[in-house]
Structure 1
């Protein structure tokens, strides 16, 4: 179905347009009045990228033009979150006719508007009463419903904050001994660590948390060490100090057994290494035997000298 948008000839006689609009302003305003995204109510969704594509401008130029029409000419409103644009004087040029078809179309299109503030923005300039009443009806119903929703949300937020504060207060009161122990032995207790310790008390118990902090102190370790211990206990579902000590004893016993086995364990020597060692020992033995079988050099020299004397 074809859509038509009416541009009255008085558009060109409007003093504001004649005196304040540049040629580019006139072209841009005509585009806003007649582009394919326009609706019967003067409020429609359109992206800046679409505008730039349609008129052949850059996004920066579109931003500048919109800013000019919003803040300088004050003829347009734009919601960047919902991508909805509203034309203030829309009713001046487009509601010359009334009747049921027009009213039904207006009702249908008003229902899908996300930013209801734009409804009042356009509605206040509509001259036909029957159409302006529709704008007022939708805006009033939204205002009442919106206020009730906002009040309900604020009430829920306040109740959540009060509940959280109460829980933190109860947690701190119930675990005062843990906090005192930390401050006396480990230093200043920051709000973050205080809250975290409270959660550990809930997951384990006050006695276990103090026990973990004590172990960290005995080993001259920081809070992170105690935190790691508590995580292990939580994973193992440790319920009391006795179970924690039993787990620690089992771990210590395993470590000692491990080191003990390392100390008494015979070296594992491969067969090829043994064979090479035996071969080298045999070779050394043969060489030694050969050396022992060789005649002594001194004895040979003495025998030679004695034979020489006899000949003489």
Structure 2
């Protein structure tokens, strides 16, 4: 499955980036776009992987990692091989139910508790809502890690004695398959989000309009009438054709389709054909002057 990472074109004019060496610029982009990156900006990245993907030797990798730690751009935890891009969420936060669900899963897989604490603090500093995230109480996690077992280290048997026998190998295989299915589904959802954002950015709806993007993506997650990606792209295409590239116009189109119970692009196109063939009434998109 293809995945995408967004780099703002202002990256090259950033004062910090302008002062970097070509080697540092290459490495910084690598840290933000490599195959291990996540939506939350915290991911496991062993140095041997960095060597393989960048072509640098171990000495150069360690030198560059330390340099960006000193620059205050990343944190690296050697015991868990995890890296955190400190300002990642500032430029990559999307308040979508599906994206937040993905972030929630990623955070619960982070091994370094301090990184989770720092992520939560960054969200608070930027004013991002995190009440939908379900992260284990960090103090309890640390307490469990430090608290010795009462029975000399033995673990309690998790099944009652009269339960049927369980094939642990089969159970692990089923769990692995379920996990792969969940990951594939999350990647598909992320691709949908990225495709909508890419269309928005490429067609003049406002590259830096994060609020507008977030509002548009909420149509994918509507609890009563979620819209498929194709419907949203179709509405945006109509807005482009009418030279009305703003959120309210696109939402007006989507609401009209919702009111007419049009659920697919095919149904929309059939309705358009019917109207051209004998129903001259045009769809009223009811755009307003309010724009994001």
Q: TM-score, normalised by structure 1?
A: 0.44
Q: 1 or 2, which has the higher helix percentage?
A: 1
Q: Which has the higher contact order (CA 8 A, sep 6+)?
A: 2
Q: TM-score, normalised by structure 2?
A: 0.47
